Structure 1
Amino acid sequence: MEIVHGWRDLVPSQRGAAAAVGAFDGVHRGHQAVIGAARQAAERLSAPLAVVTFEPHPRRWFQPEAAPFRLMSLAQMARAIDGLGVDRLHVLPFDAEMAAMTDEAFARDVLSGGLGLCHAAVGFDFTYGKGRTGSAEGLLRIGQDLGFSVSVTGRMDDASGLKLSSSAVREALAAGDMARATRILGRPFAIEGEVVHGDKRGRTIGVPTANVRMGDYMRPAYGVFATRTRLADGRWIDGVANLGVRPMFETPEPLLEVWLFDFTGDLYGQVVETRLIERLRGEMAFDSLDALKVQIDADAQAARAVLAAPA
């Protein structure tokens, strides 16, 4: 998959796609339906299939002090979209110029003039332009005037009535309901980051951890999780992790601290991705390191049981 940054001065081979347009944070099953609509248009029009997204997320631009909320990094988004068979990812800078564009200017100058789209697929709640004045229905009209077709995907619920949206994923994570988050996303929620040095206290009790800062990721309910971690070399390693601030040895920032089962090696400086499969319990304080070690052993046993169960 080709990744194209920006929308000006593109070469002809980078223009002319049928594209799904939106923030696509999480690339959940609802987003996948919008991309599916773009795929249908791409096949009908014999055009490349693309996704158009923004970096940073528009919410971060308008609310710089907002609590962390992201469901995935740009790298994770690119991998998820690539896995859907998309030919091209357009990453548009969300900056002062983009924020000030009217809805008509965005459609005219960016979607039509810059990207040369032949089709734009959006979700029912898609808004755009200064003051969010543009709507999915408005884009249908503007697209007709500018010469590109538009499809609008309605609200997506699964067969059980579960809403498929980024806000629903965040609600599930806040509740520690990893199974519900997985159902909406179509994959487990995962945190990716560089392994950093911690206080190395885990080594003293035989449980060395790979520590990753949370950055702008949405904070799930703090606690202990059964995990699967993808290493830089592509291997997946089962484990158990604490996510939070550790009441017994409080950290200045929340960390994901993963004990990788049956693994030895130096991961410092490497980028790993950890899937949170199931929340086993909340964070707890202990009277001693011995008591902590007993609980960690119990957590590890519980995590191994969860990870050994049929999917």
Structure 2
Amino acid sequence: MTVFYRNETKEPLPPELEGGVVAIGNFDGVHRGHRSVLERALDIARQRGVPALVLTFEPHPRTVFRPDQPVFRLTPAPLKARLLEAMGFRSVIEYPFDRAFSQRSAEDFVSSILAGWLKACAVVTGFDFHFGRAREGGPAFLMEAGRRHGFEVSLVDAFRDEGAEVISSSRIRDLLSTGEVAEAAGQLGYRYTVEAEVISGEKLGRKLGYPTANMQLPPEAGLRAGIYAVRFRRQNGALFDGVASYGRRPTVTENGAPLLETFLFDFSDSLYGELCSVSFFGFLREELKFDGLDSLVAQMKRDEEEARALLSGISPLSELDATIAF
């Protein structure tokens, strides 16, 4: 799949991607609500025999307007692109978003990007999509602009879960902030996953008999500190069950930076420098400060037993979950 981080003034679209069906949105999380939009685009593309593309924006607009309050991203751009590829999209266009772009008119967005650059034959987006300077472009504007420029517009209603509640990225962030990773998976349709390079740590886990793969998550990550049952994927695709601790390690440090430390079951190789991923299957307990290392090790053994039991009965939630965590 092709991923572009370009705009229409810098790089022409390859001819084989022109005239496709374009799904528009930020799609942070690529959750079940997003997939109602994305699957509509894929369906139309199959019917017409044209490529299906995603037009998204990087960085997240909220981060541009409020840089002091960066968004807790559920799926950073590389992971989002892989999820979209797994769904069947031919290309993801990560359009650069900055304050200058936010001042472009809605008509300019349609004429120069959708019609002129992408030559879209159809556009699919959520029912509440707004765009252009001061959000002047809305659903009615897009429908009318599509008629003028010769592309079909499909607006998809909000997707509700089994409890009739709307699925949203904000709702999933709230679940993760309280450690409810199983509930978040139900909204996402796959297990919440992070990826980062494995870095060197203090090697205390190795001395205790629990060597860990350490990862630094972005400062804005809103995952609750605690202990989790996880599945770890190496850069070569190899999978390992494990137990992960996310937090500041209060037993061994006074004010450490948040760190994700994963103990992989039945594994003894080196991982330093690898870009790996961790998928979260269950919250085991909160992060605690122990009286000493002996009591910490005793609890780690109980955590391992509980994680092994939880992970022994897992199965994919969806095809996307099977791609990411199995």
Matched ranges for 1:86-105 at <5 A = 86-105=89-108
Deviation track 1:122-180 (CA, whole Å, cap 9, x = no partner) reads 01222222222322332112222222111111010123324321112112111211111
Is structure 2 residue 67 aligned with structure 1 residue 64? yes
Query: Which range is displaced more, 70-79 or 2-11?
Result: 2-11
TM-score, structure 2 length as denominator?
Answer: 0.91
Determine the structure 1 residue equivalent to 2:320: none
Write out aligned runs for 1:111-260 (5 A): 111-215=114-218, 218-248=221-251, 249-260=253-264
* Aligned partner letter, 2:296: L
**Once structures 1 and 2 are overlaid, which stretch shifts more, 72-81 or 130-139?**
130-139
Q: Distance in 2 between matches of 1:19 and 1:206?
A: 51
Amino acid of the residue matched to residue 2 of structure 1?
A: T
Structure 2 regions of 5+ residues with no counterpart? 316-326
The structure-2 alpha-carbon separation of the partners of 1:85 and 1:210, relative to structure 1 and needing over 3 Å to count, comes to same
Supply the RMSD in Å over aligned alpha carbons. Answer: 1.6
Deviations 1:189-231 (A, max 9, x none): 0110000111111111111111111116632111000000110
Q: In the alignment, does 2:6 pair up with 1:6?
A: yes
Give a deviation string over 1:75-133, Cα, whole Å, max 9, x none.
11111111111112111111233222122211221121121111110012222222223
- 1:191–1:177: structure 2 CA closer, same or farther, 3 Å change rule? same
SS of 2:22's equivalent in the other structure is strand
Could you say what secondary structure the match of 1:25 adopts? coil
- After TM superposition, list the pairs within 5 Å mapping 1:15-94 onto structure 2: 15-94=18-97
Residue in 1 that maps onto 2:305:
301
* Percentage identity across paired residues of the two chains: 38
The answer to whether the 8 A contact 2:70-2:220 is kept is no
Of 292, 296, 299, 2:296 maps to: 292
Question: What residue in structure 2 maps to residue 275 of structure 1?
Answer: 279
- Structure 1 residue matching 2:309: 3-state secondary structure: helix
Alignment length (residue pairs):
311
Task: Write the distance in 2 (CA, Å) between the matches of 1:62 and 1:136.
Answer: 23
Tell which deviates more after alignment, 282-291 or 158-167: 158-167
Take 1:62 and 1:85, find their aligned partners in 2: how far apart are those partners?
Answer: 32
Structure 1 unpaired stretches of 5+? none
Residue in 1 that maps onto 2:269: 265
Alpha-carbon separation, structure 2, partners of 1:132 and 1:197: 46
